[in-house]
Chains A and B, each alone.
Chain A
Amino acid sequence: MAEDAVAAVPTEPTTLRKPRIKKAPDLPILERRNWLIHLHYVRKDYEACKALIKEQLQATEGVCEYAVYVQALILRLEGKIQESLELFQTCAILNPTSPDNLKQVARSLFLLGKHRAAVEVYNEAARLNNKDWEICHNLGVCYLYLKDLSKSKEQLNLALQLHRQELSTMTLGKIHLMEGDTEGAIQTYLQALQLSPESTELLTTLGLVYLQNGLFQKAFEYLGNALTYDPSNYKGILAAGCMMQSHGDYDVALSKYRVAASSVPESSPLWNNIGMCFYGKKKYVAAISCLKRALYLSPFDWRVLYNLGLVHLSMQQYASAFHFLSAAISLHHGNATLYMLLAVALTYLEDTENAKSSYQQAASLDQCVNMMLLSIIYYLYLT
């Protein structure tokens, strides 16, 4: 420092003697450190990135668009959506012609749950660039949250026309399922599967849809595929185990469930299925223990209560069975089998009057299937 000062003094007269033409001031380029910011960001080195952005914003008095943009992205990753939204809005003011900035503003609004506002901003962005599938896809998702299914489908189809990808097809399939159009859902999922044949989520969803439609062979195929790619997939295990159970393969199903139980120990459906496996193997005490744990984990699930009632009926503990079944009925009305089981329990408890009305209720709910069974039981116990 001192040397510099010493050296500077003698040069002064020389500059005075020979006045040079003034060079244009060496203004720093605003974007000159963008590459570094980007590098830090993609390496997930957020601390360094934030420090750099702070420096850059101080130097440029807050007008460096890219720095603000990345800062907003980092804030969003930290879950501070509101602050991130404000920064994206700044970006949109700095560069109003970029559809990306508008897209991010809209996305922040979407994440904050303000779907209507998000739709407006997306529409604005679409005006700047109408060939962007992401805009169409996100519009579709927003409409889905606004419960406008037809518009949502329209936008998602548009997104798929612009670019075929998995995301939109998944959402589209979900909408089809919500509308009860399983055929359409299956078609959509199959299309998505062509794009990404190893997606376990797609495979399990497809398997489950087939399972609901009663196409066991196909369901098993897809679920099996899903399990080969990811053997500890909880959903897949549960569905596959359920199918094995329905074919009486209790030991195989139990070994599958064991895998799931170690990864998801607090799942009520899982414990329910394990309990029913034991029931199938005639190990009633173990079954009751598992079912009770399932009930402890989700006390509002009428299916668990139904199963508990069933197991207690076969244990000839009719009072307990009655309590479980009546709880199931008060949580879920309108299942004929529940009323029928209740009636059986009541008959054994020698309450013919209530048993009769329970049978009648069951009969009025389900006219065709159980009618035969019902009347036989009814007559057997009343005569």
Chain B
Amino acid sequence: MVYVDEIDVDQEGIAEMTLDENSIAQVARPGTSLRQATAKKHEGPSPAVRPVTQSGRPLTGFVRPGTQSGRPGTMEQAIRTPRTAHTARPITSASGRYIRLGTASMLTNPDGPFINLSRLNLSKYAHSPNLAKTLFEYIFHHENDVKNALELAALATENAQFKDWWWKVQLGKCYYRLGLFREAENQFKSALAHQDMVDTFLYLGKVYARMDQPLTALSMYKQGLDRFPKEVTLLCAVARIHEEMNNLTSATEYYKELLKQDNTHVEAIACIGSNHFYTDQPEIALRFYRRLLQMGVYNCELFNNLGLCCFYAQQYDMILTSFERALSLAENDEEVAEVWYNLGHVAVGIGDLNLAYQCFKLTLANNNDHAEAYNNLAVLEMRKNHVEQARALLQTSAALAPHMYEPHFNFACLSDKIGDLQSSYVAAQKSEAAFPDHVETQQLLEKLRQHFAMI
């Protein structure tokens, strides 16, 4: 039987995110919410250096549920599949993720189900603690019947005179599954009063993250770290929260702390590596990625990153072999497209614009939604003075990825150059929304406003 790790992050579905009523403030103060809009200050590298995801959060070094798109502001944004994620988001987590856990129950046994839940006298079983625990796990994980599980847990905790922390944690898990976060919080807290457990701290942190209270979650994890110093899972959770709040410098610190305890933690190595790469230290990033390779991670993405690091660290002999390996390891078209996209950058770097053009074309052949490739193709067309093609490509790119500032800004510049100030203004405003601190956008907007204000 596969035991599902309940603690690990689960992805919020569209319904949870857009119809969420658990967060306290709709317009949270800056730095207190995971749901921030794109309009905020960036800690660490700016979006001009480090690419961003749909929600305006810098790309992370490790794909895990929730890192790709964050919390969308609108329904439209929620439905759109982020390019770098492989699957669309589940409609709700109740149907999307947990239905798989219940599939075992859907197989019809010839002699009827193993345990017929509806005919079970739960109060009888609640009186024998050992059996009850096993029965609870069966109902919760195998049958995926949260309501009955909750009933059993409630009876059992009553039977244990509310003194058994284990039952309280299980109650909390049931409440969490049902979306009753406040009740879950109470149960977990009361469980912590009886017994300090790493699990319980992690569950509590998860509850707070769902209620969009990252700072409370952080303080909870800190408490946990006081009781269990240097606990790896807690450190990892803290780092993730920092990363989601765009605080990459502290996230990296926690990841480093984590690596001191567990020097084979893939997520930490990958995140630190990507952070070094985007802060002008490709040589150090290369060492982290090489460590991953030594540990036996052997996939397309890793070789892709190795190739890029080699290029920016001028290890010219390794670039093409890395990318070749990446191409041969690619499992689907999206990965092939990413490799060709990066090869395009290498081609730009050695000044071979024809090769770059072909690389970006190949990217689009493999993945037709690759907004960055459209943008870069447009730039190449602009260099050849093909204004119309460039305009069309930029428009496609902007429609595919409204969260990127580059296509908007390029479009604004292009329109400004040919004198179409209205389009330029509209595009520049979009660029400003995506990246408020971009100086060149500000300068362009200022110039356009002067034009408009002049009578």
Contacts and interface: CB of A to CB of B under 8 A. Distances in A.
Contacts of B348: 299-300
Interface string B250-284: 00000000000000000000000000000010000
Contacts of A110: 419
Interface stretch (B176-184, B396-404, B447-455): B447-455
Contacts, number: 81
B346 to A, nearest CB: 11
Interface string A240-266: 000000000000000000000001111
Interface in B414-455: 415, 418-422, 425-426, 429, 438-440, 448-449, 451-455
A327 interface: yes
Nearest to B317: A319
Contacts of B247: none
Interface string A91-122: 00000000000001001001111010000000
Given A81-B422, A289-B280, A331-B351, A111 B451 contact: yes
B422 A112 contact: yes
Given A111-B451, A264-B439, A327 B350 contact: yes
A73 interface: yes
Interface string A296-329: 1101100001000000000001011001001111
B421 A263 contact: no
A360 interface: no
A364 B418 CA distance: 38
Contact of A73 (B351, B352, B455): B455
A197 interface: no
Contacts of B353: 330-331
A356 interface: no
A77 B321 CA distance: 55
B316 interface: yes
A58 interface: no
A145 interface: yes
Assign chain B's interface to a size class.
Answer: 20 to 34
A76 B454 CA distance: 10
A292 B422 contact: no
A293 interface: yes
Contact of B351 (A104, A113, A296, A327): A327
B62 interface: no
B350 A77 contact: no
Interface of B: 46, 48-49, 280, 312, 314, 316, 345, 348-353, 383, 415, 418-422, 425-426, 429, 438-440, 448-449, 451-455
6 contacts: A265-B439, A292-B312, A300-B383, A319-B316, A326-B351, A331-B351
Interface of A: 73, 76-77, 79-82, 104, 107, 110-113, 115, 145, 263-267, 289, 292-293, 295-297, 299-300, 305, 317, 319-320, 323, 326-331
Given A317-B314, A320-B316, 5 more contacts: A264-B439, A266-B440, A300-B348, A323-B314, A331-B351
| Across the A-B interface, the 6 shortest Cβ-Cβ residue pairs | A327-B351, A330-B351, A113-B420, A113-B419, A81-B422, A79-B425
